[in-house]
Amino acid sequence: MDVILERCAGLDVHQATVTACLRLPGPGRTRTQVVQTFGTTTPALLALRDWLAAHEVTHVAMESTGVYWKPVYYVLEAGFTLLLVNAAHMANVPGRKTDVADCVWIAQLQECGLLRGSFVPPPAIRELRDLTWYRKALLQDRTWEANRLHKILQDAGIKLATVATDILGVSGRAMLTALVVGTTDAAVLADLARGKLRSKLPALRQALTGRFRGHHALVTQLLAHLDYLDETIAALSDEIGGQLVPFVPEVTRLQTIPGVKRRTVENLLAENGADMTSFPTAGHLTSWAGLCPGNNESAGKRRRGRTRKGDRWLKITLLEAALAVIRVKGSTLGARYRRICRHRGTRSPSSPWRVPS
């Protein structure tokens, strides 16, 4: 294979160590390699950076191993051309699996230009990602806590959810608070309803007649935890809004898409950034998200191709936007979805999503 990069390095990254292999010009037309192991503490990574710079290395490749690649990448990104490579794209020879063999193989592939780097956003977008990922985790926690609250009310025979759309609204919170402090009279509890819910007072009295016992006071802890989650989510949303100030035109433009609201836009920018030059076409972005069908063809026959793994955070965001847009009245995408449903059926909640091809 022809050598494209004269001075390059391959890194095999682990939690505690990084094994590095340099590929350098040797005597005549030969190639020489140097292998050395470093730690993953910041001083050790700075020593790795200086070692690479001393050998005039220009390009560095490493595997995307869990989250262990991040400290290494952040230390080296300013001084070298970095490639973060999917480990599935590099096959190792069976029986020759060692740290040294791995970094040597990465370096050899790198010098011949056979590696394809993954998309790594700039620092500002990476910081935004951390915030949106944590907010998404807290939103999931809030959903779990709300489901626990529903289960406790069912155990107590309180059927508030069958009458009120949101049991955590103003009326629902007032009724739950009254239950916790000892009010069990269904008529008194129903009278705490506000707004349109007051038109359902007879149904509320029936729904609030139950057997609320002492151990059901767990509702107090659940409500307190929900309040904490709501406050934290609101604080994170404010911080995310501050991070997006430089991207106001992009935020405004993306919100013109049917079914795409502010939170969806924030998640999209956190995953892709505002610079789309990293993705040559929309198909490349779809592939990065893991939403395009895979290729499975042999002997002229095409078989069903499953979607591949991709950016799961982006995939979740796009699926949520798709589920929202099909409910937008008069939208072209919603009309296409309903047309496809006539012959392919609708998506059931328990089945995996299948994107129409």
Question: What are the pLDDT digits (tens) for 235-260?
Answer: 999 999 999 999 999 999 999 988 89
Are 88 and 115 in contact by the 8 Å Cβ rule? The answer is: no
Task: Report pLDDT digits (tens) over 276-326.
Answer: 988 999 888 888 888 887 777 766 777 776 777 888 899 999 989 988 988
- Run of H or E including 83: strand 81-85
CATH T-level topology, domain 8-111: Nucleotidyltransferase; domain 5 (3.30.420)
Return the higher-pLDDT residue of 43 and 330: 43
pTM of the model: 0.83
351: helix, strand or coil? coil
Task: Say if strands 17-25 and 59-63 run parallel, antiparallel, or are unpaired.
Answer: unpaired
Eight-state DSSP code of residue 33:
E
CA nearest to 118, candidates 84, 75, 76, 155: 84
What is the domain partition of the chain in residue ranges?
8-111, 124-243, 279-344
